[in-house]
């Protein structure tokens, strides 16, 4: 009994420390939001998660020898990877695996920032898309009341695990398995909608199911990391409008419908031109969200180094077969080789020039509007000049 009490006290102390850490950062916690982090434990939702060891993802579960270190990791302000290439950490071999993360528990400070923007009141009807571990759904249950929360997860095993773990901590929301962009309960409408996976554009069903005056918080991201989080309010005319939050976010993409795999072909040597801009600029999160506004849907990027250790970015548009390689040179310039009808690097060079001319505007200076006809991001320069981009 003493050991159990000590563990509970240690877990509570960890929650208190995490809440203080979030509050000292970029999010000023309201008393209700602080209450969610103090009262909803994280560790029951991530009993096993991956840690990186020498290029592999190795599952980590608490043992008597490392329980304290494990708990410290759980309550650190970090994302925790729970699934790699569809293999949940609980099902992985002890030696782990090599692959790409496909599900995780969001870093608590980002989770807090989004929940603060969502502004959930008790009794409001809330829909979460992307249940994942269930930890964020637990916070929503604390804020709204669990009978007012619906959470949708595409993967059956994740939905089942989340349902069990939510019940274990006393919450019983409606946990559904389905395509979160499409499979919302028939006829249901919501005061609040939040997504914990990124989308290129806001799915029409979310705007349609949001009640007038309601709020949705949605991560927007295309091919590049460092995406945006949009906070939108449903207007009386049916449109949704709002602004971009200050926090960059690289959520995993929402899996919806068919998921074709696109292979980026090699670019054959051919005529080249010089560029003063390295492909590495697309990894700069202060610029990448702006760059994404100038990239057409479906554009794919791959990057790495060549045999001289210099950075190479390749852009490919499977729609028309355009292919462009941007390779760093030893003199600091970059060479551009293209194949197909379009030079895919030229619009991004122009975007970078415009971004600098606008004095490197931050995410939170941009607005967003979503209607039945189009979705746009807009920015007004200090002199009053408007700029507008279609998502």
> 242 has which bridge partners?
232, 368
Using CA atoms, how far apart are residues 126 and 217, in angstroms rounded to an integer?
11
Tokens encoding 300: 């794919």
Tell me, yes or no, if 198 is annotated catalytic: no
Burial 272-293 (b: 16+ CB within 10 A, else e): eeebebbbebbeeeebbbbbbb
Task: State the DSSP H helix or E strand holding residue 286, giving kind and residue range, or none if neither.
Answer: helix 285-292
Q: Which two tokens stand for residue 273?
A: 């031109």
> What residues does 40 pair with on adjacent strands?
none
CA torsion, ordered 87, 88, 90, 93, to nearest 10 deg? 20
Euclidean distance between CA atoms 131 and 15, whole angstroms: 21
Q: Which of 79, 103, 105, 278 is catalytic?
A: 105
Rounded CA separation 155/177 (Å): 7
Q: Are strands 210-220 and 190-195 parallel, antiparallel or unpaired?
A: parallel
Cα 278 to Cα 332: distance, rounded to the nearest angstrom: 8
DSSP string, 60-126: EE--TTTHHHHHHHHTSSS-EEEEETTEEGGGS-TT-B-S-EEEEEPPHHHHHHHHHHHT--TT--E
**Catalytic machinery residues:** 105
């Amino acid at each position: 009994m003493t050991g159990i009490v000590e563990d509970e006290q240690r877990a509570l102390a960890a929650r208190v420390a995490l809440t203080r850490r979030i509050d000292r950062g970029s999010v000023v916690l309201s008393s209700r939001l602080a209450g969610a982090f103090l009262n909803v434990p994280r560790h029951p939702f991530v009993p096993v998660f991956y840690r990186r060891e020498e290029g592999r993802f190795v599952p980590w579960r608490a043992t008597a020898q490392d329980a304290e270190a494990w708990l410290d990791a759980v309550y650190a302000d970090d994302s925790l990877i729970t699934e790699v290439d569809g293999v949940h950490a609980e099902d992985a071999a002890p030696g782990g695996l090599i692959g790409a993360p496909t599900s995780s528990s969001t870093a608590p400070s980002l989770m807090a920032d989004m929940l603060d923007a969502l502004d959930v009141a008790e009794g409001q009807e809330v829909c979460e898309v992307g249940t994942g571990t269930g930890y964020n759904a637990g916070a929503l249950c604390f804020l709204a009341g669990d009978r007012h929360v619906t959470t949708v997860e595409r993967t059956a095993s994740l939905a089942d695990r989340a349902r069990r773990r939510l019940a274990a901590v006393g919450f019983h929301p409606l946990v559904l398995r389905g395509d979160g962009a499409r499979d919302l309960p028939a006829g249901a409408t919501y005061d609040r909608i939040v997504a914990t996976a990124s989308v290129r554009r806001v799915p029409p069903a979310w705007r349609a199911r949001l009640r007038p005056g309601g709020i949705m918080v949605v991560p927007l991201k295309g091919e590049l990391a460092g995406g945006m989080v949009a906070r939108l309010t449903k207007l009386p005319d049916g449109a949704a409008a709002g602004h971009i939050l200050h926090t960059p976010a690289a959520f995993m993409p929402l899996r919806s419908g068919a998921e074709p795999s696109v292979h980026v072909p090699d670019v054959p040597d051919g005529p080249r031109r010089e560029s003063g801009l390295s492909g590495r600029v697309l990894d700069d999160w202060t610029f990448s969200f702006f760059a994404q506004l100038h990239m057409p849907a479906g554009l794919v990027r791959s990057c790495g180094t060549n045999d001289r250790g210099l950075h190479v970015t390749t852009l490919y548009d499977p729609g028309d077969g355009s292919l462009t390689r941007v390779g760093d040179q030893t003199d600091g310039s970059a060479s551009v080789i293209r194949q197909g009808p379009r030079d895919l690097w030229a619009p991004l060079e122009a975007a970078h020039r415009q971004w600098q001319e606008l004095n490197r505007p931050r995410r939170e200076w941009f607005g967003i509007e979503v209607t039945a006809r189009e979705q746009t991001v807009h920015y007004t320069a200090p002199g009053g000049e408007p700029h507008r981009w279609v998502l």
